[in-house]
Structures are given as C-alpha cells and as structure tokens.
C-alpha cells in the first residue's frame, strides 16, 4: 500500500530512523509495516485481517525484516526468528565456530527494537486481548465440562490458575489500550 509523504515521515520519526524490529539504520528504500497485518484477498481486494492503516499500527521496517515478517503476527514473527537462530545453531560451521569461541550460543527471547524503546502498539494489544478472551472462554468451557462429568480426571487448581492468569492478562491489555487512546 502506498502511504502519503506525511504519513511516511510520521512513521519514520517513531524510531528515529531505525528499523522497528532489528534496530538497524533504515536504508533509503525502507518500508512501512502494519504491526497487526492488514491482509487482503489478492484477486478481490477483500479485507481479511484485523489490522488497520491507522498510524498507531504502522512502524518503519528495513526490507529484510518486512519480507520475513510478511503478514505474520508479531508473535509468529518472533517465533520464526527464534527458530531461525535454532536452525543456524545446528549448522556444522556454527558448531565449529562455537568450539573456538568465535560465536556464543545463548538462550534468547527476541525483543524487537520498538519494544526496547517503549513504543506501544495499541492494535497489537487489541489483538492480544481478543486472543486471550477466546482462551478464557475455552478454559471456562473445559472447567464446566470437567465438573459435569464425574469420570473426568482433572486438576481443578491448575485450571483455576489458568483462568486467573487469563483474567489478569485481559486486564493488563485493557489498561494498556485505555491508557494509550
């Protein structure tokens, strides 16, 4: 999608000319990325995704990060990057480099540059909120189903803890959304 010069300038300024994902200096041909993807049917143009063209859902991206992220959610993108690291770490050259302390293996959880500098993407939290509400609904259904069947073996404390965590995370997401309106 083509964005106006004004929108591109606003997006660029969000991270001070850095890629919102890897943190590299943006190249001349940087791209505007939808954090929560806007997915459309290629042939009909029909809107299929949850994302919006709202400035709050847009971040600057270097082409390589945007190509890898594509129309993935942030969590899918993060998982793909973590899997990429694991794949490289199985490579024979990597293993030799590791033995000679040229590279060092570390347990990592990918943190994007925009997260490190404190940018809040409201659309992302709206997406997480929807997912967590579905999870809560599913967990409550499972509890009700288990309670209704006396032959079911289940750990009530464990399920109640899951529901408690669902509700706490839902509140966190709602608070973040509310504070960033």
Domain coverage including residue 79:
5-116
Confidence of residue 152 (pLDDT cuts 50, 70, 90): confident
**Among the listed residues 52, 7, 12, 59, the one whose alpha carbon sits nearest the alpha carbon of residue 33:** 59
Same structural domain, 126 and 39: no
- Please determine, for residue 47, whether its predicted confidence score (pLDDT) is greater than 90: no
The residue length of the chain stands at 181
Structural domains counted in the chain? 2
Q: What is the pLDDT of residues 105-151, one digit of tens each?
A: 776 789 999 999 999 888 888 888 888 999 999 999 988 888 888 88
Count of CA atoms in the C-beta half-sphere (13 A) of 38: 13
Whether 101 and 84 map to the same domain: the answer is yes
Give residue-wise pLDDT tens across range 49-103. 678 888 999 999 999 999 999 989 899 999 999 888 878 888 889 889 989 999 8
CB distance 47 to 1 below 8 Å: no
pLDDT at 87: 84
Q: Are 91 and 128 part of one and the same domain?
A: no
Q: Do 137 and 101 have their domain in common?
A: no
Residue 45 reports pLDDT greater than 80: no
Residues 106 and 161 in one domain: no
Spatial distance between the Cα atoms of 80 and 69, rounded to a whole number of angstroms:
9
Whether residues 106 and 23 fall in one domain: yes
- What CATH number does residue 27 fall under? 1.10.30
Say if residue 73 is in the same domain as residue 161. Answer: no
Q: Which two tokens stand for residue 168?
A: 């706490």
């Amino acid at each position: 999608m083509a964005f106006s010069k004004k929108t591109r300038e606003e997006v660029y300024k969000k991270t001070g000319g850095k890629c919102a994902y890897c943190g590299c200096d943006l190249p001349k041909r940087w791209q505007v990325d939808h954090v929560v993807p806007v997915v459309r049917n290629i042939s009909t143009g029909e809107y299929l995704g949850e994302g919006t063209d709202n400035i709050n859902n847009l971040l600057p991206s270097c082409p390589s990060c945007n190509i890898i992220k594509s129309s993935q959610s942030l969590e899918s993108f993060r998982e793909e990057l973590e899997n990429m690291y694991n794949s490289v770490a199985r490579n024979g050259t990597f293993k030799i480099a590791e033995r000679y302390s040229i590279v060092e293996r570390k347990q990592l959880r990918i943190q994007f540059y925009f997260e490190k500098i404190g940018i809040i993407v409201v659309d992302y939290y709206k997406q997480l909120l929807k997912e967590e509400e579905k999870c809560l609904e599913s967990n409550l259904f499972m509890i009700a189903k288990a309670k209704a069947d006396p032959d079911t073996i289940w750990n009530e404390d464990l399920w109640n803890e899951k529901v408690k965590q669902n509700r706490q995370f839902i509140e966190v997401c709602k608070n973040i959304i509310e504070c960033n309106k």
